[in-house]
Structure 1
Amino acid sequence: MVAGLNPVAKLGASLLIAVPLIFTIDPVSAAVALVFELPLLMMAGLTPRQFWLRTLPVWAAAPLAALTIALYGAAAGEMYVQWFVVQISEGSLLLALATLFRVLAIGLPAVVLFATVDPTDLADGLAQLVRLPARFVLGALAGMRLLGLLADDWRSLALARRARGVADRGRARRVLGMAFALFVLSIRRGSALAVAMEARGFGASRHRTWARVSRFGTGDVLLLAAGAAISGIAVTVAVLVGAWNPVLSG
């Protein structure tokens, strides 16, 4: 089950799949990658409901991006519709199809693989396995932990303003005022947290100890190999059929 693997392996697999697709914009490579990603998505440990809820933004963004390319993309080949700035041609439709598959092939594994990642486990892996600076990793982890408090702070500010009778009119002005108050509160809380973490030795760079050891096992290696294989197969098929279209080619 992919859900129990090391977060660093999930991050690496997502990057191995995404990077080759970023440098090309053809429908073949993205479609092939999407097909071979299906087993990984099915083994991610999500229920069907969780899968669709988590990936809903990707399913919404893909057709919208494709529609934009179809209407306003570079014209090539036979022209079907031309009106004002709208140009629907054979080339723009092909680019739209490539964009649709590309967004799905990059977005779905990134969202699904990270749906079961614990931020603390990811920080442990990045610091212990990837050897990123502990100060940076722990600071980012602390910031992510505080993100959940923003919703509570926003709710508290709204209730406080309503109790004082200043939240009944001028919605735009109220939102701007609350956003500024939340910004100031976040800076104060972040500064206090940074001082507390520094005082407790979280910024130490030498002889650092970790409460949990991050291990890289056989399953993690297999996940990285699967990501590399998906990219390799997708690129190979696109090159063989003559569809490979690098974005930096002239």
Structure 2
Amino acid sequence: MSPLARWNPTVKLATVLALSTAALLVTDPVTPAIGYVLAVAALLVLGRVPLRAVALGHVPFLAFAASLLVVNVLTRSGGDVVVVGPVTVGATGLTIGASLALRTLFVGVLSLTLVLTTDPVRLMTSLHQHARLPATWTFAVLAAHRLLEELPGTWHTIRCAQAVRDPRRAAGDLPRSPRALGTAAFALLVGAIRRSERLAIALESRGLGAGPRTTSRPVALGTGDVLAAAAVLAAAAGVVVLGAHVGWLTGVGALAG
């Protein structure tokens, strides 16, 4: 596993939440930009995540960040006049919009780091061990995750079954009519409900919630995990201190301008 994958999931989640919360308190574009670059570098180097996966994961965050930039540029006035191509905008709207957009990308890449470098089973096991998450919640979430993992394969099976039963289809084509898609979606929903019922019965028959339970694969929490979190938070604090010293750092009060 990569260094980020070996990092204790509970400590990693707490660090991501701390950084994301701290990002909400700054409104200058430089601070989240530096954090974004560092986070992407860590994800690629320490997380060993393929560049394609990182790029695809950015798609929803880029769309939301672009909308924040456009809305603030068009609705916020004030400051010096800035010419951006054929458009003339106010410096205040451009600065705040860029800050919110970069903040979105920073929080987004932190979320990608957690999702792409963390095994869900290790995460829930670690939360049960170290964050004292109740066993009923832990196993319920794991069961739901298992159910969600099976949905794409089940959908493909249903669509292939539809194609086999359709005598008018061309070889290799799947039915694409609204009626066929609606029928497949309904079959997927019914199948998911039936599997969830079987999972609930299986968990209850195994005494879930009846008492303390053991863990077959415990997740270790060592000094290195805590030191890694301290190093990340110290780097973030260093960026903030540098910004305050140089003068680019601004707080939430700038949003009222």
Count of residues paired in the alignment: 243
Q: What is aligned with 1:233?
A: 238
Query: CA shift at 1:42, angstroms?
Result: 5.0
CA contact (8 A) 1:25 1:98 kept: yes
Change in CA separation of 1:191 and 1:166 when aligned onto 2, cut-off 3 Å: farther
Q: What is aligned with 2:206?
A: 200
Q: What is aligned with 1:151?
A: 152
Query: Does residue 1:54 correspond to 2:53, yes or no?
Result: yes
Query: Does residue 1:219 correspond to 2:224, yes or no?
Result: yes
Q: What is aligned with 2:9?
A: 7
Q: Distance in 2 between matches of 1:196 and 1:184?
A: 19
Q: What is aligned with 1:21?
A: 23
Query: CA shift at 1:239, angstroms?
Result: 4.2
Change in CA separation of 1:99 and 1:166 when aligned onto 2, cut-off 3 Å: farther
Q: Distance in 2 between matches of 1:67 and 1:35?
A: 18
Correspondences of 1:102-117 after superposition (within 5 Å): 102-117=103-118
Query: Does residue 1:33 correspond to 2:32, yes or no?
Result: no
CA contact (8 A) 1:3 1:43 kept: no
Change in CA separation of 1:149 and 1:60 when aligned onto 2, cut-off 3 Å: closer
Query: Does residue 1:209 correspond to 2:214, yes or no?
Result: yes
Q: What is aligned with 2:187?
A: 181
Per-residue CA deviations over 1:159-179 (Å, capped at 9, x if unaligned) read 111222289566223222211
| AA aligned opposite 1:178 | A
Gapped runs of 5+ residues in structure 1? none
Change in CA separation of 1:72 and 1:136 when aligned onto 2, cut-off 3 Å: same
TM-score norm. by structure 1 comes to 0.82
| AA aligned opposite 2:184 | M
CA contact (8 A) 2:29 2:99 kept: yes
Q: What is aligned with 2:129?
A: 128
TM-score norm. by structure 2 comes to 0.80
Query: CA shift at 1:188, angstroms?
Result: 0.9
Q: Distance in 2 between matches of 1:63 and 1:147?
A: 25
CA contact (8 A) 2:68 2:101 kept: no
| AA aligned opposite 2:19 | I
Query: Does residue 1:245 correspond to 2:251, yes or no?
Result: yes
Query: CA shift at 1:21, angstroms?
Result: 0.6
Change in CA separation of 1:180 and 1:126 when aligned onto 2, cut-off 3 Å: same
| AA aligned opposite 2:5 | A
Q: What is aligned with 2:141?
A: 140
Change in CA separation of 1:131 and 1:167 when aligned onto 2, cut-off 3 Å: farther
Query: Which range is displaced more, 7-16 or 66-75?
Result: 66-75
Q: Distance in 1 between matches of 2:254 and 2:197?
A: 43
Per-residue CA deviations over 1:134-172 (Å, capped at 9, x if unaligned) read 101111011112222111111111111122228956622
Percent of matched pairs sharing the same residue: 29
Query: CA shift at 1:45, angstroms?
Result: 3.6
Query: CA shift at 1:234, angstroms?
Result: 3.7
Give the match's secondary structure for 2:96: helix
Change in CA separation of 1:19 and 1:248 when aligned onto 2, cut-off 3 Å: farther
RMSD value, Cα: 2.9
Q: Distance in 1 between matches of 2:231 and 2:186?
A: 46
Gapped runs of 5+ residues in structure 2? 170-174
Query: CA shift at 1:100, angstroms?
Result: 3.5
CA contact (8 A) 2:54 2:112 kept: yes
